[in-house]
Amino acid sequence: MYKIKRQMANVATLTIKLHPLTASLCSDDPISLYDESYNQLNVEQMQLLGHGTPLYVTPVGESSDGFFLLTPEPMLGVLQHHPAAKKLSIPLNVISGEQPDELEAMITTLNLTQPALQHRFQPLQSFSTLSQRVKRGQSLRVPLPTKTRLAQLAGRCNSNFK
């Protein structure tokens, strides 16, 4: 039976690589490249995003400080490349004591089952939903990031906000 221990790790000093099974399973995933526009986010915003992104990991070996990441997490790259990376931390769910078949089941659950559920239940499924939220926020007179900034972060053009 496996155990999960929760801990925080500094983004800049975290030694982590994708688990080989995860890398094979997700090899055809579209790659999201780092974009300089992410640097516009301040440390507080980045830390909030980091805290909301727990990483499922397993130790590389018994004597190693490194981890295998069980599911791809683009936000980790965003945090690691931010100018304030040394100030940022991210939560880890460290899984230990697992058997090989349990690890395979965890990887398929995290990379197939969870995304399927998120696709079905997550309210923000498209850029048009984000656009609608911006319009709603404007009508409520809520302070919002600019459309230009949101478009940059989403990798879209301003004209997508219609």
For residue 84, pLDDT over 80 is answered with yes
Query: In whole angstroms, what separates CA 116 from the centre of its chain?
Result: 16
- pLDDT at residue number 5: 94
Encode pLDDT of 21-67 as tens digits: 999 988 888 776 667 778 888 999 999 999 999 999 999 987 667 99
- Full-model pTM: 0.79
- pLDDT at residue number 11: 95
Confidence at 133, pLDDT banded by 50, 70, 90: confident
Give the Å distances, CA to CA, from 65 to 16, 18, 142. 9, 15, 44
For residue 116, pLDDT over 80 is answered with no
- The rounded percent of the chain whose pLDDT value lies above 70 is 87
For 115-126, letters b (16+ CB in 10 Å) and e give eeeeeeeeeeee
